[in-house]
Amino acid sequence: MASMRDIKGRITSTKKTKQITKAMQMVSAAKLNRAQHNAQAFLPYTEKIREVVASIASSETEISHPMLEERPVKKTGYIIITSDRGLAGGYNASLTRALLQKISERHKSPDEYGIVVMGRIGRDLFKKRNLPIIQEIVGLSDQPEFNEIKNLAKTTVDMFADGLFDELYIWYNHFVSPITQEVTETKLLPLTDLAEDNQSGNAAYEYEPSEQVILEQLLPQYAESLIFGALLDAKASEFGARMTAMSSATDNATALIDDLTLIYNRARQAAITQEITEIVGGAAALE
């Protein structure tokens, strides 16, 4: 049985751990609020550019662009957004496990796909498994700016336009609530559902110099904006998952402290009772 000193030491160390997890919970909550605001503020831009692109794609004018056309799939690209740090519950594990399972279902050879990974957790896992990483980026800030991923987004979209990939998917955790994140797969390219989004036909645009020229400029920007929007959504999910994980850790630490305190008090009471018994026994022996 552990001594009273050992129990007291465990209580002290657990209290220090509780202070750390509580602080991390509060920090994650503050970062979550900012991340949610960033994701919501970026959404109108994505929706408007999609509206304009959909308007052009569904127009009667004959418009063509590689990003709008399906082609035989020889190689698939996967963009996955993980975190740089752990202590976020199952945030990374559920995402990477789902992607690995989908890859095993769809592909028989590493030559059939390539991975673009954001985040150190995913990068390290895929390197350990010797998976084909085409591009990687780590060390993104907690509140990322588009410039941080601009090169990665542009080169990834260019890979599709140049024919390296015939289809491109993006995987991330969609933010539902601080305690719920949904593993999400979105088909990034080709953009085959734009015409369906413009069936209402509420907006009318005049294009200068031409619809084709505007489309060639907007489509890559739109695809890049989808990547950045997914990153902002994933960041909100990350902080929600970390806040929930740290809240659970704090609660567990509190319960452990209570249990250890009860054990300590029982041991202390037993020691006092034994001392009293020894004193009474010694006094009786002197009589």
267 class by beta-carbon count within 10 Å (0-12 exposed, 13-18 middle, 19+ buried): middle
Quick check: is 281 in a domain?
A: no
Rg of the chain (C-alpha set): 28
What token pair was written down for 191?
A: 């953009």
* Pairing status of strand 113-118 against strand 76-81: parallel
Amino acid 202 reads N
Answer yes or no: are the C-beta atoms of 237 and 181 closer than 8 Å: yes
pTM score:
0.87
Where on the phi/psi map is residue 81: left (φ > 0), alpha (ψ -120 to 50), or beta? Answer: beta
Looking at residue 74, the DSSP 8-state letter turns out to be S
Is residue 98 in a domain?
Answer: yes
pLDDT in 10s for each residue of the chain, 287 residues: 578 888 899 999 999 999 999 999 999 999 999 999 999 999 898 888 888 877 777 765 666 777 888 889 999 999 999 999 988 989 999 999 999 999 999 999 999 999 999 999 999 999 999 999 999 999 999 999 999 999 999 999 999 988 899 999 999 999 999 899 999 999 999 887 765 555 545 556 666 677 777 778 888 888 999 999 999 999 999 999 999 999 999 999 999 999 999 988 988 888 888 878 877 777 666 66
Q: Can you give the CATH number for the domain in which 66 is found? A: 3.40.1380.10
Q: Is residue 266 part of a domain?
A: no
Judge whether 153 lies within some domain. yes
| Cα 235 to Cα 271: distance, rounded to the nearest angstrom | 53
Q: Is residue 115 part of a domain?
A: yes
d(CA 47, CA 140) in angstroms, rounded, equals 25
DSSP, collapsed to helix, strand or coil, labels residue 200 as coil
Query: What are 76's strand-pairing partners?
Result: 113, 167
Contact 173/92 with Cβ under 8 angstroms? Answer: no
Entry field: residues in the chain: 287
The residue segments making up the domain with residue 130 are: 26-244
What's the DSSP call for residue 44?
A: H
The number of beta carbons lying within 10 Å of the beta carbon of residue 165 is 25
Residue 5 belongs to a domain: no
In this predicted structure, what is the pLDDT of residue 3? 82
Classify residue 135: in a domain, yes or no: yes
DSSP lists the bridge partners of residue 84 as none
> How many domains, the chain?
1
162 falls within a domain: yes
